Structure 1
Amino acid sequence: MGRRLKICCGVFAVLLLIITVTILVLYFTILKPKQPIMTSQPVMLEHFTGNLQGQINVTLGITVTVYNRNYGSFRYNDSTTHITYRATEVADAPIKKDNIPARARHNISTSVNVFVDKLALVPGFGFDLLSGVVNVTASTTLHGRVKVLKLFKTKATTESTCDVSIFLIQQRAESVCIVKVKF
């Protein structure tokens, strides 16, 4: 009776070891939470109005594509896109929280109204206005959580910074963006 019990315990221990090693290998190769990839699309000049009295209003369309490489969902919280001009915040726009399914791409879009009355308070704006080009920076930070199999959870933060040149005469915008991801 003792010998059968030892064999049974040995077989159970070997099976438990095999299952544990299999789970660890799966976690560190396939199921390990990965950073979502965030790509900034070119900033669009959605609306531009101006008159001879110097009243100018600009609406920028900002779209960020997030690719969730995980086998679980990426949920991000409410956030805000900030527009700064010469280190002074001149506009912002809210971004609603959402969930990005596993192995999927998701576009996050927002429109930002930039009013020149805020820009006019910043020193040097008159020179930029006369040159016809206004350079602003659009920055967006998404704080979220990657969840795999409802067991493994990891916090992730993605930051996107776009340098945007608004060409007033041509009524167009160009942008160069940098994306950083932190765990």
Structure 2
Amino acid sequence: MASKRPLKICCGVTFLLILLLGITLVILYFTLLKPKQPKVEARAVTLENIEFGLFPVVNLNVTLGLVLLIRNPNVASFKFSNSTAFAYYRGVEVAQSPVPEGRIAARGSHMVSTRVVIVADKLVTNPNFFGDILKGSLFFTSISEVSGKVGLFGIVKFRAMSSTSCEITVVLPGGPVNSTCNSAVKF
């Protein structure tokens, strides 16, 4: 009977160590490792080119230059693959733009710059277009989804998707461009 006592002590100590390790991991997750949403700032949204003509045919070409700063507040890095950003005018897709692959370091930031050439036919045929021109501003929405891998201390890796939505107002003619961006991460 005396030989079972050390076994019970060993099992009890092992259970307490596993319990302590579990509590420590839960505390770490909710304090340090809990995923936080990246912050996206539009550093520069420039109107690079605009051509507008009414006669003999309605002609419109708009080129926007977008420079976004993405801040990663997490303790994990995010490596993403090539993707595409879409621009919408009043709910209708009017442009696509490539987003090159990259990596955002843990608690770091990354600049993404791209050019968006807007398809004039889809823009001009929108029933709100001429009313917005007369008001002096155009309203766009830019949406991009980037998928990649999150690396924690170079050991743990799992898939994640980051989506960004920007509301962009272009003041005509050649005025400032205002934007507001929101982002979210799905694991």
The TM-score bracket by the shorter chain reads 0.7 to 0.9
TM-score (norm. length: structure 2):
0.75
**Kept in 2: contact 1:70–1:148 (CA 8 A):** no
SS at match of 2:176: strand
Cross-structure match for 1:98: 102
Q: Which residue is equivalent to 1:27?
A: 29
- Displacement of 1:81 after TM fit? 2.4
8 A contact 1:146–1:156 mirrored in 2 = no
Shift >6 Å, 4+ stretches: none
TM-score using structure 1 length = 0.77
Work out whether residues 86 and 144 of structure 2, in 8 Å CA contact, stay in contact via their aligned partners in 1.
no
1:164 aligns with 2:169: yes
Q: Once the two structures are aligned, what percentage of the paired residues are identical?
A: 32
Identify the residue that residue 111 of structure 1 maps to in structure 2.
Answer: 115
User: Could you give the per-residue CA deviations for residues 73-118 of structure 1, whole angstroms, max 9, x where no partner exists?
Assistant: 1233433222223333222211123221111111222111125444
Distance 2:16 2:119 in 1: 69
Tell me the residue number matched to 2:61: 57
- AA in 1 matched with 2:184: V
Taking the TM superposition and a 5 Å limit, the aligned residue runs for 1:1-183 are 2=3, 3-49=5-51, 55-126=59-130, 128-129=132-133, 131=134, 133-144=136-147, 145-149=149-153, 150-151=155-156, 153=158, 155-168=160-173, 171-183=174-186
Unaligned 5+ residue runs, structure 1? Answer: none
* In structure 1, distance between residues paired with 2:158 and 2:9: 38
Residues matched between the structures, number:
180
Report if aligned partners of 2:66, 2:114 keep a CA contact under 8 Å in 1: yes
2:169·2:177 contact (CA, 8 Å) conserved in 1?
yes
Compute the RMSD of aligned alpha carbons.
3.0
